[in-house]
Amino acid sequence: MTRVFRASLKFYGIFALCVLLVAPFSAISHAQDDVHDMPLLFDARERIAKPDLSGLARLRFLTTVDFPPFNFIDQSGRLSGFHVDLVREICRELDIEAKCQIQAVTFAELQPALEGGQGEAVVAGIGISPELRQRFAFSRVFMKLPARFSANRRVMGNALSVAEIGSRPVGVVAGTTHEAMLKAFFPKLTATSFPAREAMLAALKEGKIAAAFSDGMQLSFWTAGSEAANCCTLLDGAYFSPRFLGEGLAIMNRKGDPALTQAIDHALLELSRKGRLNEIYLRYFPAGIY
């Protein structure tokens, strides 16, 4: 079982959490001129019936504390994050708030805890795989994590678009899915590989490369943060690929409970339709990742 970008988010998850806790939203939005809402993953005309949950004794969501800004311990010692707020909204939408709980375990404990009946659902950024689909049920995807370009303002000048990169070098971390995706999606661009993300971002800030191609969430926090010193900006275009980036974020539960899967899908659809899913997104990603 893998987490979506688990290893690659280790550093920038901590950085993102620091930004969320200590910086006002206005201070982290200067590096991006236009913040886009979440892409709509649900058809507003679709209807998913709300199943009868009167026989449900309780609904325990399992998560972790080491995946900010999705789930983490805040300054007051409380479990917080995008996933935590999403669970609260799901339970409110299903009108089962009194039956809902959210509990943190280690990432390695998530699967056995779900299988052992210590919880009914997992919301922790798990990467969906064919093997997991054979053993567990998944809700509809509620969020996709894109790849993005961040460009050096000085090097690119007024030509701030992917089409204007031309023959200028584009940084990418060697051996990553983003390197493979860049070569597959943009074969005409000149890829310059770096052994680590820190080296790539340092080269981008110094103008040794015109742009970098990487995880959109990481780049959005870095570009808008103090470390980048307003050197760079995200270029238009959020790029998705199930082949390279996976299906996206979903809630996992046991296959033997199709009513729960349907209930969660119903709640996610309603949250999307009413704009509350997007409100949670903007709460934790004020600089935007799309």
pLDDT digits (tens, 9 = 90+) for 236-255: 999 999 999 999 999 999 99
pLDDT digits (tens, 9 = 90+) for 118-155: 999 999 998 899 999 999 999 999 999 999 999 999 99
Check residue 287 and give its pLDDT: 83
278 touches 38 (CB < 8 A): yes
> How sure is the predictor about 23, in pLDDT bands with cuts at 50, 70 and 90?
very low
Mean pLDDT of 165-177: 97
Q: What is the 3-state secondary structure (H, E, C) of 238-277?
A: CECCHHHHCCCECCEEECCCHHHHHHHHHHHHHHHHCCHH
Given a cut of 60, whether residue 161 has pLDDT beyond it is: yes
161 touches 235 (CB < 8 A): yes
Check residue 31 and give its pLDDT: 37
Calculate the alpha carbon distances from 159 to 18, 105, 106, 162, 206 in Å: 32, 47, 46, 9, 18
Check residue 288 and give its pLDDT: 87
pLDDT digits (tens, 9 = 90+) for 35-79: 678 999 999 899 999 999 999 999 999 999 999 999 999 999 999
> How sure is the predictor about 3, in pLDDT bands with cuts at 50, 70 and 90?
low
Q: Quote the mean pLDDT of the chain.
A: 89
Given a cut of 80, whether residue 34 has pLDDT beyond it is: no
Check residue 120 and give its pLDDT: 97
Q: Does domain 35-144+247-284 have CATH number 3.40.190.10?
A: yes
- 147-244 matches 35-144+247-284 in CATH topology: yes
The superfamily in CATH containing domain 147-244 is Periplasmic binding protein-like II (3.40.190.10)
Q: How far apart are CA 13 and CA 20, in angstroms?
A: 10
Domain range summary for the chain, segments of one domain joined by +: 35-144+247-284, 147-244
Angle between helices 258-273 and 276-284 (to 10 degrees): 80
Task: Determine what percent of the chain is predicted with pLDDT higher than 70.
Answer: 88
Task: Determine what percent of the chain is predicted with pLDDT higher than 90.
Answer: 83
pTM: 0.85
Mean pLDDT of 189-214: 98
> How sure is the predictor about 25, in pLDDT bands with cuts at 50, 70 and 90?
very low
Check residue 17 and give its pLDDT: 46
